[in-house]
Amino acid sequence: MKKVETVKKSLRDYEALISAEKIEEIESLSRELKGARVLHINATAYGGGVAEILHTLVPLMNDAGLVADWAVIEAPGEFFELTKRMHNALQGKDDKMNKEDKELFLRVTRENAQRYSFGAYDYVIIHDPQPVGLPEFVDFGEARLVWRCHIDTSSPNMDFWSFLNNHLGYYDAGVFTLRDYAKDGISINNIVEIPPSIDPLSNKNRALRDDELKLAMKKLRVDVGRPIISQVSRFDPWKDPMGVVDVYRVLKEEFKGLQLLMIGAMASDDPEGWEIYDDLLRYAGTDYDIKVLSNFHGVAEIEVNAAQRISNVVLQKSIREGFALTMSEAMWKKTPVIGGNVGGIPLQVKHGVNGYLVNSIEETAEYTAKLLRDKELAREFGEKGHEIVKEHFLVTRHLVDYMRLFKSL
């Protein structure tokens, strides 16, 4: 297990984006919690929404007067292959956890526990299944333990769920994007609802200079004179990337110049991503208006930012979804969105108000075409989406939610 270094951030930089009431609440909570020691533990320092959130949330906790650290577990590739299977199974995929799987999980957990040397904390937040077993092997002393689950475990594969749930009795609270995500019979009594958030000042979400936008478009290899639709997400079967290509092919019959951007980040805890990426390339074939890009093509935060700004519509055609930060990212940039009617997407997208919720390829194509044809409707959706994110899904709200939780514990 090793600590992650973060860049210093200041709450003062966010004051122009939030209400005076929110600033006052942060200041009040800061006085009450000043000096409280906080440790976040997860599986990876880059790739995916959890790491992205922690790169902002941890520095802001420190700026608010807490003493916050972040550590990641260390594990061999076969462990992350197992936990990716676990991730999928906890969202309902059929699978079986055998004796060797359980022994591998416990061995890696025990090895990380033996390397734990970070001292005492008041609050320890353990994110997702990968490090969930640490309290069994680490003496966290008087710390209040929180398990933060970023996926929908409401209808899990029971074989994997039973194994996971055996580790949850150590925790004082469980944090889910929606309370309904917590499976009945969970071994944690205190369930708290805290949705994720975006950092409006990060490279992925801040306003871009003209030169940055121009360079990013060159990397993306798109023609801004023609319509663009995009999906930004991990290469994951639950994100239905092949279904997005099917939507594009339906739309291409009417919108001859249409381009599709498929952008994903490869994370160290997601070995399945490469398989999906290869399958997607084969599925896209030789259509050069489909761009399948990742961080290994030099497509990083600024390029994602640019893609979401220049797209006519941003899709997130998920089949199962914890939250989908990409919806809030696109809405922050006043781009209209269409998302699968699952998980945390309906928290962000109000059907017919700031986007559309869909259940099929046909619906996705129909509503995307509507937004491509009606520029005024697209503009209206973009404006309303921006206001929804400003009110509910910025990192400052996320910080307040955690501080409230700490106070209650």
The per-residue pLDDT for range 217-238, each reduced to its tens digit, is 999 999 999 999 999 998 988 9
Q: Is 138 helix (H, G, I), strand (E, B) or coil?
A: coil
Mean pLDDT on 360-384: 98
Q: Is 255 helix (H, G, I), strand (E, B) or coil?
A: coil
Quote the pLDDT of residue 139. 94
Note whether 268 and 46 are within 8 A (CB): yes
| Joined tokens for residue 264 | 């994903």
CA distances from 317 to 56, 71, 92, 299, 300 (A): 27, 32, 18, 21, 22
DSSP H/E element including 125 = strand 123-127
Would you say residue 47 has pLDDT above 90?
Answer: no
Report the mean per-residue pLDDT for the chain: 95
Q: pLDDT tens digit string along 90-117?
A: 999 999 999 999 999 999 999 999 999 8
Would you say residue 296 has pLDDT above 90?
Answer: no
First and final C-alpha spacing in the chain:
26
Would you say residue 33 has pLDDT above 70?
Answer: yes
Would you say residue 268 has pLDDT above 70?
Answer: no
Place of tokens 């307040």: 400
Alpha helices in 34-181 (DSSP H): 49-63, 77-90, 99-114, 158-165
Report the alpha-carbon distance of residue 309 to residue 329 in Å, rounded: 10
Quote the pLDDT of residue 50. 93
Q: pLDDT tens digit string along 297-312?
A: 789 999 999 999 999 9
Would you say residue 153 has pLDDT above 70?
Answer: yes
- What is the reported pTM? 0.91
| Joined tokens for residue 98 | 């055998």
Task: For residue 266, give every residue at least 6 positions away whose Cβ sits within 8 Å of its Cβ, in sequence order, or none.
Answer: 47, 235, 273, 274, 277, 294, 295, 296
Task: For residue 242, give every residue at least 6 positions away whose Cβ sits within 8 Å of its Cβ, in sequence order, or none.
Answer: 279, 280, 283
Quote the pLDDT of residue 267. 66
Q: List domains and CATH numbers for the chain.
A: 2-197+394-408 (3.40.50.2000), 210-392 (3.40.50.2000)
Residue 300's CB is within 10 A of a number of other CB atoms, namely 15
Beta strands in 150-253 (DSSP E): 173-176, 191-193, 228-232
Mean pLDDT on 234-248: 94
Mean pLDDT on 127-133: 97
Would you say residue 375 has pLDDT above 80?
Answer: yes
Place of tokens 């805890």: 269
Note whether 105 and 131 are within 8 A (CB): no
Note whether 291 and 261 are within 8 A (CB): yes
Q: Is 399 helix (H, G, I), strand (E, B) or coil?
A: helix
Of 57-61, 264-268, 326-330, 334-338, where does mean pLDDT reach its minimum? Answer: 264-268
179 burial (CB, 10 Å; 0-12 / 13-18 / 19+) is: exposed
Mean pLDDT on 195-210: 97
Centroid of chain to Cα 116: 26
Sorting pLDDT into bands at 50, 70 and 90, what band is 269?
A: low
| Joined tokens for residue 308 | 């979401």
Phi, psi for 90 (deg, rounded to 5) = -70, -20
**What b/e sequence results for 269-288 when a residue is b if at least 16 CB atoms lie within 10 Å of its CB, and e otherwise?**
bbbbbeebbeebeeebeeee
Quote the pLDDT of residue 19. 87
Q: Is the pLDDT higher at 198 or at 21?
A: 198
